[in-house]
Chain A
Amino acid sequence: MTESANPERVLLHYLDQESDLCDIENYVADGGYATARRVLGDMSPGDVIDTVKESGLRGRGGAGFPTGMKWGFVARDTGKPVYLLCNADESEPGTFKDRLLIENDPHQLIEGMILSAYAIGSEKAFIYIRGEFRKGYDILCRAVEAARAQGFLGEKIFATEHAVDIVVHLGAGAYICGEETGLIESLEGKRAHPRIKPPFPAVQGLFGCPTIVNNVETLACVRHVMEKGPAWFKGIGPERSPGPKLFCVSGHVNKPGVFELPMGTSLRELIEVHAGGVANGRALKAVIPGGSSVPILSADEVDLAMDFDSVAAAGSMLGSAGVIVMDEDTDMVATLRTIAHFYHHESCGQCTPCREGTGWLETILLRLESGEGTEGDIETLYSVAGGMMGTTICALSDAAAMPVRSFLDKFRDDFLGSLAAVEG
């Protein structure tokens, strides 16, 4: 197995750098903030949006929505402020990339945010960081203060007429705060109950004002798109899903971790080369390619390019690129039950199908796990999951239901075996 051509690491540049990039002086010495200074001086906001559109950058938060296009939806001339929100709530099981970016290279994110805020006409941006990320919060607060002291944040930044400031907000610890409208509600000081759409945040978001929510990694990418140009970005990985990408590999591998690789790197390469292969010499059984919310793949499906479109074509999703590897000894019933427990625990409880369905799924799976399930339970799981898909306010319900159907489809024998164990 050969490694795909690995261009320089940009997002994880801190790994190849001796000095501590949390220190603004080191970041500036390394060329940091030069892009923001140049762009705010020379380019119009519209040009920045066009550049990002041209780069083909798609959101790294899960859905892969084209970033430039999203920015284009911001309602103009409303007389209201526009807000940029950085989604740093990273709570999807199997996902731990944003935390690295925050803790090791906060200015990369801040610079990306300055550029993005400038593009959409936002003078005030927020970083909503997961409640448990206390360390990252402290680092970000210090970094924002340092940037402000340098005149990179605040009024008249980089000696231009432009203003961009950042507020770092520590969340209160719920998975649903990562859903963009849940995040907005939470930032407004309310329960993180996702909002019905329309209206979309780009029209009516934070405090009723036009708002863009982007993931940490997305905003970090913006910094490099603006520095190196759209052609550079588009030249990495597949044309329709380009760019450098962070893959989080966890589970039964020898070398779990976060790897920066081109979009479209094969899943097999990711597991076997970068993550050091399946641990303890065991065989691979299954992989969840994009965080706990996406359909599972079986061992024979790993010759797959890890980009948004290819993974979707294989019936799953790239999601947050949280790759969870399972070896041959993995108990699929227990694994699915663990996942179901997570969604049962995290459902905000607004929508009937999600509120009731997540609990029902776990109840049935607990019964199967304890060997008391019946074949009817398996059919019920299918139909409960069916009723939860496409019927709710946010995608948490789908996220809870999709794994269930794929586990049952691909590992049906494991589930049937859990019944036979008591009956036979």
Chain B
Amino acid sequence: MPRVTFNGIDVEVEAGSNLIDAAEAAGHEIPHYCYHPGLSVAGNCRMCLVEIKALSDKQDKPLPKLQIACNTVVQDGMIAESNNDRVAEAGRSVLEFLLINHPIDCPICDQAGECKLQEYYMEYGGYESRVDLDEKVLKAKATPIGPDVMLDQERCILCTRCVRFLDEVTGTHELTINERGDHTLLSLTEGAVLDNPYATNVVDICPVGALTSRKFRFQSRVWYLSSDDTICPGCATGCSIEVHSRGSEIFRVKPRNNPEVNGYWMCDYGRRVPSLLQGGERLSAHLKREQGRFLTRPVRTAVQYAASLLKDAGPVAVIVSPELSQEEAELLKQVAGLLGGEGCLVFRCEKPAFDDDELLISADRFPNQQGLQVLGMRSADGPPLDCSLAIVAGCDPAAAGPQWTDWLEGLDGLLVLDSHKTVTAAYADCLLAIATHFESGGTFINKDGLRQSFEAAISPPGDAVEGRVVLGWLVEELGSVAGVSASTTALESRLASA
């Protein structure tokens, strides 16, 4: 691996990487706008200028001009510097150029708080303005350019990240650069609408507030949001994401770099998953049916009741959603074993049909179908008629028609675990309110067999508890503690002490 000296510090860096990434690996930030590690190098913002004291072992003379770090590939013996007056002046000057025609929008701009213009100005700018407001070039403000994206041309710094994303990643070319000089405009290509399945990624990569999400605009200042890492449950790809929430409300999700799965991107459907999953009528209490009426019960009491309902009453069908985590599925399998139920099944919920695409979206709309298959579960077309008891976890067979509702009606006992009031819930003798994916920790096995763990991003409503915890208790009640994972026990004690 090549060794470079950056700001006097020797670092070993990955061959082929550029100076921005190399410096970052060494703990130094080289400010930049146009460079994005997931896209080609454009070299247009000129924010990353550094001094090259030596190009390599062999060429050890300083280069006369400052060089852009984004287009400087590291070589053994390279000596580069960013902490001197010359580089500082270049950076200050580029920032000043960027801002002379920039609108004074910060108080009303959604990007405020996560804007690279604001950040770098505080870090590298800090000069007095030398232009009159009435001399600024005016361009079009808030213009919708697609179902989720709003464009403000005045705020655009013309870094072309969005253009390159649409040229290089999706190949859909909806955005382009028009005009010249300081009248240059970022705009839609003639006749285009920015509505491809990955469109909102341009909002994430826009370093300023030129491209904002129409759904997120004006919903919350970003500094009120907390960010938690998880995996998108939208399909079998399992993109790494960040969930941005306030209290128990999710405001947006963003992709999180995972070179093995999604790189820097995610699909727009994945961004809608939180509202699909968190919306609807939630179950926030554990219920027991008594004389036709549901009564609220404390969780442990409800679990005891569930155990008594199912124990020693014949084989139990367990119908599991491929949206549940591997931990939940494993516990359900254990439950089925304890109850002598071999009829462990996967049930597919009805969802809109998607096609596999070449980028990320998988035709398998479930995040953990692979995991269930690893556990030997199979997919079911119809109800297991030979069982008179059932556990339905995370899915809604009753919604699939009379074939299922007839069967559910005839059961001697039905335990439902769900986060939502499903059609099936109406048939339940006992209902355990569990957390959604975003409220749970666990593991998914994605379409390529990759195990990916995640933690809860927000807390569940009311009395609802993570499925893996309730199921751990159920296993316990059914007379065995064996197989309950250490993490479940740890979580349990955490919950108990909370």
Contacts and interface: CB of A to CB of B under 8 A. Distances in A.
**Do A and B associate with each other?**
yes
Interface of A: 174, 191, 193, 196, 198, 344-353, 355-360, 363, 380, 383, 386-387, 390-393
B177 A387 contact: no
B137 interface: yes
A371 to B, nearest CB: 17
Contact of A353 (B46, B131, B183): B46
Interface string B306-341: 000000000000000000000000000000000000
Contacts of A347: 180-182
B94 A358 contact: no
B166 to A, nearest CB: 15
Contacts of A198: 71
27 contacts: A174-B180, A193-B177, A196-B42, A198-B71, A345-B180, A347-B180, A347-B181, A347-B182, A349-B177, A349-B181, A349-B183, A350-B42, A350-B158, A351-B44, A351-B45, A351-B46, A352-B97, A352-B157, A353-B46, A356-B100, A356-B101, A360-B131, A387-B93, A387-B97, A390-B66, A391-B46, A393-B43
Contacts, number: 88
B180 A353 contact: no
Nearest to B159: A352
Interface of B: 41-47, 49, 64-66, 68, 71, 90, 93-94, 96-98, 100-101, 130-131, 135, 137, 157-158, 177, 179-184
Contacts of B49: 391
Contacts of B45: 351-352
Given A349-B177, A360-B131, A355 B66 contact: no
A346 B182 CA distance: 10
A355 B177 contact: no
B184 A355 contact: yes
A174 B68 CA distance: 26
A357 B93 CA distance: 10
Contact of A360 (B64, B100, B183): B100
Nearest to B137: A359
Contacts of B179: 349
Main SS class of interface, B: loop
A344 B94 CA distance: 17
A393 B130 CA distance: 25
A196 B101 CA distance: 25
A391 B94 contact: yes
Given A196-B68, A352-B44, A344 B97 contact: no
Closest 9 CB pairs of A and B: A387-B93, A349-B184, A196-B43, A359-B182, A356-B97, A347-B181, A350-B44, A390-B65, A352-B97
A26 to B, nearest CB: 42
B316 to A, nearest CB: 65
B183 to A, nearest CB: 8
A174 B184 CA distance: 14
A78 B66 CA distance: 31
Contacts of A363: 135
A38 to B, nearest CB: 41
B97 A353 contact: yes
Contacts of A360: 97, 100, 131
A210 B135 CA distance: 44
